[in-house]
Amino acid sequence: MVSIIKYAFILSLFSGIALQANAQEKTPTMQKAPANITIDGRMTEWGDSLALYDPKTKLNYAIANDDTMLYVVAFVSDRQLKRKIMAGGITISVNGEGKKHKVYSMTYPIPDKAALMSRPSPEDGDDVKRPSLIESTSIRVAGFKDVESDVITTSNTYGFKAAINFDDKHNLVYETAIPLKMLYLKPNKKKENELAINISINGIERPSGANGDRRGGMEGGGIGGGGGMGGGGGMGGMGGGGGHRGGGGHRGGGEGGGQQQFGDMAQPTDFWVELTLAKH
């Protein structure tokens, strides 16, 4: 009798451990999207803060869904991260089977290289908020078999939506929406839709300078040099006052710390999130 009781105790102990492990492995459920969402680059429907934070990218974000759309929203206060997003965009990639393998992707904004290379006018104020950079109307998509082009506009007929804007405290607000029907989701054995979502802050491409001299661009003042991306001249110019090696013909115009900062800006950073669609 004692051995039977001991066996039953051990069996119940292992059963409890197994149940606990299964509970821990359960994929978190996505946030239910607020009602009547307008994709306009504003926090109106999302409240004062977003539920999730990634320390690697310093990104405050939320991922939500309703019956028809998947929403990814980001809130950015870090100045360097704002510049990186405006110059390289964010790519949202989705795997409808919950695997960390990119199947569908959407990139917004697609940087306007001419706008990035131009100097901001006095009316532009904070250079990262220039209308020429904010009012991007192009979205790059990949993997969606029903979409005929790899670049579509924000007024497309497929249902993809994207917007970027700044609030009154100069924080960047990023909103995108992807039609769920475009993901061809298949429920798992539990009749749930598990998604693996990758959010990538894309690196900035080093632009070519005049006459094909790449040093005449970003390297020419360094980010933070005399006319570099974080210096007195703002984002515009991007190549130093003289367009060559620091603006004055020397490599000292921000080469040290500036090149290191550009190295950080040129390097993409990303992370994965695994979530189950919320049921409405």
What is the CATH classification number for the domain harbouring 90?
2.60.40
In a domain, 75, yes or no: yes
3-state secondary structure 253-268: CCHHHHHHHHHHHHCC
In a domain, 216, yes or no: no
User: What is the rounded distance in angstroms from the CA atom of residue 237 to the CA atom of residue 278?
Assistant: 46
In a domain, 173, yes or no: yes
Query: Helices 79-88 and 255-266, interaxial angle, to 10°?
Result: 60
In a domain, 11, yes or no: no
In a domain, 248, yes or no: no
What is each CA distance from 138 to 10, 147, 156, in whole angstroms?
Answer: 61, 14, 10
Q: Which two tokens stand for residue 192?
A: 């749930």
Nearest residue to 163 via CA among 2, 36, 1, 38? 38
Q: How confident is the model at residue 70 (pLDDT cuts 50, 70, 90)?
A: very high
Q: Range of 47's domain?
A: 31-205+267-276
In a domain, 147, yes or no: yes
In a domain, 247, yes or no: no
DSSP SS3 for 275: strand
Higher pLDDT, 187 or 189: 187
Total domains in the chain come to 1
In a domain, 116, yes or no: yes
User: What is the rounded distance in angstroms from the CA atom of residue 30 to the CA atom of residue 46?
Assistant: 14
| pLDDT (tens digit per residue) in 218-262 | 333 333 333 333 334 444 443 444 444 444 444 444 455 556 566
